[in-house]
Amino acid sequence: MSIMNKLRNQNFSLTITYILLIFFAISIIFPFFWMISTSLKTQKEAVKFPPSFIPENPQFSNYQKAWSKVNFTRYFLNTILIALVQLAGILFTSILAAYAFAILDFKGREILFVSLLGLMMVPMPVYIVPGYMILQKIGWIDTYYAQIVPWMANVFPIFLLRQHFKTIPRDLYDAAVIDGYSDLGFLFKVVVPLSRPALITISIFSLLASWNSFIWPLVVTNSDSIRPVQVGLAYFIQEQSTNYTLLMAASTFVVLPLIILFFIAQRQIIESYTRSGLKD
Partner 1 sequence: MNYRRNFFKGLLFLLPALIILFIFRFLPIILAFVISFFDWGISGKGDFVGFKNYLQIFNDKTFYQALLNTLWYVITVLPGTIIISLIISILLNQKIKFKGFFRTTFFLPEVTSIIAISFVWKWIYHPQIGIANYLLKLVGISPLKWLEEPRGIFEILFNIDLPKIFEGPSLALFSLSIMTIWKSLGYNVIIFLAGLQNIPEHYYESAKIDGASRWQSFRYITLPLLSPTTFYVFIMTTITSFQVFAPVWMMTGPPAGGPLGTTNVIVYYLYDMAFNYGKYGYGTAIAFILFLIILFLTIVQKKYGEKNVHYE
Residues 40-79 that bind partner 1 (CB under 8 A): 47-51
Window of 68-76, 168-176, 188-196, 258-266 that interacts with partner 1 by CB under 8 A: 258-266
Minimum distance of partner 1 from residue 278's CB (angstroms)? 6
Angstrom distance (rounded) from CA 230 to CA 219: 13
**Residue 164 to residue 277: CA distance in whole angstroms:** 15
- If one asks whether residue 230 binds partner 1 (CB under 8 A), the answer comes out as yes
Is residue 168 a contact point for partner 1 (CB under 8 A)? Answer: no
For the chain, the C-alpha Rg in angstroms (whole number) is 25
Residue choice 7, 20, 175, 264 for contact with partner 1 (CB under 8 A) = 20
Residue 259 in the binding site for partner 1 (CB under 8 A): yes
The answer to whether 112 contacts partner 1 (rule: CB under 8 A) is yes
Omega before 228 within 30 of 0, i.e. cis: no
Q: Which stretch binds partner 1 (CB under 8 A): 70-78, 163-171, 188-196, 211-219?
A: 211-219
Distance in angstroms (rounded) separating the CA atoms of residues 43 and 265: 36
Nearer to partner 1, 165 or 226 (CB): 165
List the one residue from 42, 145, 173, 183 that touches partner 1 (CB under 8 A). 183
Question: Of 51 and 139, which has the nearer Cβ to partner 1?
Answer: 51
Check residue 246 for interaction with partner 1 (CB under 8 A). no
Is residue 270 near partner 1 by the rule CB under 8 A? yes
Nearer CB in complex with partner 1: 207/226: 207
Out of 1, 3, 126, 178, the residue judged to bind partner 1 by CB under 8 A: 126
Under the binding rule (CB under 8 A), the answer on residue 152 touching partner 1 is: yes
